[in-house]
Amino acid sequence: MISLTTIIMAAVFTVILLLVSLFVPNPITWVMTLILGALLYFVLWPQYQGQQQAVRQGVEIQAAVQEVRHWNRKQSDTTVDRYEIIAVAPNPNTGNIQQFVSPPMAEDPAPYVGDSVKVTVDWSNPKAYVMDVSFLPFKVE
């Protein structure tokens, strides 16, 4: 779940980059400012709003755990393992199966995951959901 702190930090960093771009005009600083601003405006902010919408207007459901997905991300010379819980539930408005994906985790949640997981979803906008991973004994990023 994206926190308001993350949004504020990204906005502050964007403003700092904008000021650097104004006082030290360089094409690279302008490109970096535009990329970070676009990321904030088109990715982080809509995701945050969707999560807040799900918390305010959503219903809590039990979604069936389909799998724990494992993938690798290469950072410099090392490979970092990441895990995601994939859960599904039928959409009562359309009858289609809706997929829910947890935030990426550094530790394997498979030993702690049961047959279902709690998800708060706003069925008027099924992309607005929050998966409850508070049952895990480790911190999720």
Q: Give the Cα separation of 45 and 34 in Å (integer).
A: 15
**Strands of 97-101's sheet in order across:** 97-101, 78-90, 59-75, 116-121, 129-131
Residue 130, burial from CB neighbour count under 10 angstroms (0-12, 13-18, 19+):
buried
pLDDT of residue 74: 78
**Using CA atoms, how far apart are residues 95 and 113, in angstroms rounded to an integer?**
26
Print pLDDT tens along the chain (141 aa): 677 888 999 999 999 999 999 998 899 999 999 999 999 999 889 888 888 888 888 899 999 999 999 988 777 778 888 999 999 999 998 889 999 999 889 899 999 999 999 999 999 889 889 999 999 989 887
pLDDT of res. 98: 95
> Residue 83 phi/psi, 5° resolution?
-130, 145
Cβ burial of 141 (10 Å; 0-12, 13-18, 19+) is exposed
- Could you give the CA distance from residue 38 to residue 76 in angstroms, rounded to a whole number? 26
Q: Which residues contact 16 (CB under 8 A, 6 or more apart)?
A: none
Token code pair at residue 79 = 């490979």
Residue 139: the pLDDT is: 83
Please tell me the distance from the alpha carbon of residue 49 to that of residue 59, in angstroms, as a whole number: 16
